[in-house]
Structure 1
Amino acid sequence: MVDEAHTANRPTPESRRQQILDAACDCVRQAGFHGASMAEIAKAAGLSVGQIYRYFENKEAMIAAIVAQDLAEMREKFAEMESRPGTLLDAITEQLPEAVDKCFDPGRAALVMEVLAEAARNPKVATIVRAADEQERAFATTMMARSRKPEWSDAEFEARCEVVGMLFDGMMMRAVNHPDTDREALARVLDGAIRQLLG
């Protein structure tokens, strides 16, 4: 019975990976990509460095896992919007207050800025980030194609989708530069901008 209880309380590989990723995110937010050593990540996770390396070869592998989580979350959100009644554009704009709050979350914004800064100088991280962006654009373009006007060329439609992406990416920079922005007002103006771009 004791052995069974001990086994039941043992962390699963998935929960251990998540424990490490959560610690890595905290360390990167606080000290930056280079400042967050594997030793510090291990300490924050309450594990040894050897245990960390059983799950992740290096910090780039951790970034790949964090990015993969974000993509999975985005895929679920897109699927949820597509399943809602009404127009797709209404479904998108209904999500704006939640999306604005997410972009203005200081911890998330700090982590994204750190990863992007590292991607600008580290080819391995750049490859991870660009591959994720390509997938994200594919999800968004497929979804937004339902609102596409027939007179839009492929280039114009892709540019309109790109501008929508720029609005959301830019919000995370504004979260660092101007964290006290009136989010309700911002969501209202974004609603009009997105309807203008895609409606």
Structure 2
Amino acid sequence: MTESTVKRSDAESRRQQIVDAASACARRSGFHGASMAEIAQAAGLSVGQIYRYFDNKEAIIAAIVARDTGEMRDKFLELQGGPQPVLDAILTKCATAVSDLYDPNRAALMLEVVAEAARNPTVAAILRDADAEERQMQQDLLKHVLPVGCDERESQARGEVLSMLFEGMSVRGVNNPDSDREAIARVLQSVIRHLLSAPCVER
């Protein structure tokens, strides 16, 4: 391993340390309420060290969003590249998705990012760019699933409803954390099977 590789690895580790600390602070105080001093203290660093890796709080949020987008990209690739038909692969992942999205820490962080986007145009732009990338990945996936004859408008509408289902689980994870997740996963499978395999809506 070269010296430059070691330095890059160290920098990535330090950035991840800061992102993890900022995530914890956001869950506790919200991004709006979490100061750089609080984030630095949670990371065990000085404020000056934080600024060596991130220009501002929005840059830290961008790193959090980029991490989530990367995880989502891996999931889409796994769904398309596995041995199962794509629809079966999606349905198989429902139980894991419910468990992940109902997780209180994950749900709280996601909602804090969305809340910050509602009042901060810079964060809103970051989130919308990530959402556009995710929607494109989703549409690429749905090409392998939707019935023949579904046009682009229909495909995008079904994709949007699919996103509502998954993103809405984070809200439910906060409001009703003790839900029967196993039962929810079974119902979700049924809903998604219908959503993705039903004949196209006639206009």
Question: Normalising to structure 1: TM-score of the pair?
Answer: 0.93
Amino acid at match of 1:133: D
SS of residue paired to 1:12:
helix
SS of residue paired to 2:108:
helix
User: 1:144 is matched with which residue?
Assistant: 142
SS of residue paired to 2:119:
coil
CA deviation after TM superposition for structure 1 residue 20, in Å: 0.4
Q: Which of 88, 112, 122 is the equivalent residue of 2:110?
A: 112
SS of residue paired to 2:38:
helix
User: 1:3 is matched with which residue?
Assistant: none
Number of aligned residue pairs: give it: 192
Give me the identity figure in percent. 58
User: 1:195 is matched with which residue?
Assistant: 193
User: 1:171 is matched with which residue?
Assistant: 169
Greater shift in the superposed pair: 41-50 or 76-85:
76-85
CA deviation after TM superposition for structure 1 residue 151, in Å: 2.5
* Structure 2 stretches lacking a partner, 5+ long: 1-5, 198-203
Q: Does 1:186 align with 2:184?
A: yes
Residues 63-85 of structure 1 show CA distances to partners (whole Å, capped at 9, x for unaligned) of 10011011111111111111111
CA deviation after TM superposition for structure 1 residue 154, in Å: 1.8
CA deviation after TM superposition for structure 1 residue 86, in Å: 2.4
Amino acid at match of 2:183: A
CA deviation after TM superposition for structure 1 residue 34, in Å: 1.7
Could you tell me how far apart the structure 2 residues matched to 1:153 and 1:21 are? Answer: 40
Amino acid at match of 1:58: N
Could you tell me how far apart the structure 2 residues matched to 1:26 and 1:89 are? Answer: 35
Could you tell me how far apart the structure 2 residues matched to 1:111 and 1:86 are? Answer: 32
* Equivalent residues in 2 for 1:1-199, closer than 5 Å: 12-199=10-197
Asked whether the equivalents of residues 21 and 42 of structure 2 are also in contact (C-alpha less than 8 Å), the reply is yes
Could you tell me how far apart the structure 1 residues matched to 2:84 and 2:18 are? Answer: 41
* Structure 1 stretches lacking a partner, 5+ long: 1-7
Superposed structure 1 runs of 4+ greater than 4 Å apart: none
Asked whether the equivalents of residues 142 and 155 of structure 2 are also in contact (C-alpha less than 8 Å), the reply is no
Q: CA RMSD in A?
A: 1.6
Could you tell me how far apart the structure 1 residues matched to 2:17 and 2:150 are? Answer: 46
Could you tell me how far apart the structure 2 residues matched to 1:171 and 1:191 are? Answer: 14
Asked whether the equivalents of residues 15 and 53 of structure 2 are also in contact (C-alpha less than 8 Å), the reply is yes
Asked whether the equivalents of residues 25 and 34 of structure 2 are also in contact (C-alpha less than 8 Å), the reply is yes
SS of residue paired to 2:45:
coil
Could you tell me how far apart the structure 2 residues matched to 1:165 and 1:143 are? Answer: 13
Could you tell me how far apart the structure 1 residues matched to 2:110 and 2:80 are? Answer: 26
Residues 44-74 of structure 1 show CA distances to partners (whole Å, capped at 9, x for unaligned) of 0000000000000111000100110111111
Amino acid at match of 2:185: A
Could you tell me how far apart the structure 2 residues matched to 1:65 and 1:79 are? Answer: 21
